[in-house]
């Protein structure tokens, strides 16, 4: 999709838009507020799970949990954090989140919602009642 996206939307204009938005952010709360106000959740319609870049998600204005997490991670990286994507697997489904640690402890972004926790081990149980797996997401 990246090549098609570049042809339709123009890579330079999408990259410039991302940078303009990113420069306005000062902390994870700004990231959360932007995501909640500007990106809608929409699951992939095909059997193949398609991970979009940050610029693709901004241009489309929607994405699934991986797309939200990739975009959140990119904004957080620009703010100086070291976010990582994690996969939480429940009994019947899976979910991707963006996790990072800062001076206040651990935090994660769940489809734009900012959640703080005292320990990383808490996260999986907050996503699913009986998680069967919690680990780093590899796209």
Tokens describing residue 19: 């940078």
Least confident of 7-21, 74-88, 102-116: 7-21
Instruction: Please report which confidence band the pLDDT of residue 76 belongs to, taking 50, 70 and 90 as the band edges.
Output: very high
Q: What is the DSSP code (8-state) at residue 52?
A: P
pLDDT tens digits, one per residue of 13-25: 778 888 999 999 9
pLDDT of residue 45: 73
Bridge partners for 89 per DSSP: 94, 133
Least confident of 47-56, 73-82, 95-104, 126-135: 47-56
Instruction: Please report which confidence band the pLDDT of residue 47 belongs to, taking 50, 70 and 90 as the band edges.
Output: low
Tokens describing residue 25: 């952010």
Per DSSP, the three-state class of 79 is coil
pLDDT tens digits, one per residue of 23-46: 999 999 999 999 999 999 998 776
Query: What is the model's pTM?
Result: 0.88
Domain boundaries, the chain: 2-136
In the chain, DSSP assigns E strands to: 40-41, 62-63, 84-89, 94-102, 105-110, 113-117, 133-136
Which CATH topology does 2-136 take? C8orf32 fold (3.10.620)
Pairing of strands 94-102, 62-63: unpaired
Backbone conformation region of residue 105, classed left if phi is above 0, alpha if psi is from -120 to 50, else beta: left
Tokens describing residue 48: 């193949």
pLDDT of residue 116: 97
């Amino acid at each position: 999709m990246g090549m098609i996206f570049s042809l339709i939307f123009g890579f330079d204009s999408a990259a410039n838009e991302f940078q303009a938005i990113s420069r306005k952010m000062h902390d994870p709360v700004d990231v959360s507020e932007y995501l909640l106000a500007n990106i809608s959740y929409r699951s992939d319609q095909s059997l193949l799970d398609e991970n979009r870049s940050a610029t693709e998600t901004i241009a489309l204005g929607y994405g699934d949990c991986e797309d939200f997490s990739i975009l959140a991670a990119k904004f957080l990286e620009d703010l100086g954090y070291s976010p990582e994507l994690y996969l939480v697997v429940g009994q019947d489904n899976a979910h991707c989140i963006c996790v990072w640690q800062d001076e206040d402890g651990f935090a994660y972004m769940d489809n734009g919602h900012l959640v703080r926790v005292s320990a990383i081990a808490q996260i999986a149980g907050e996503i699913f009642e009986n998680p069967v797996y919690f680990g780093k997401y590899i796209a």
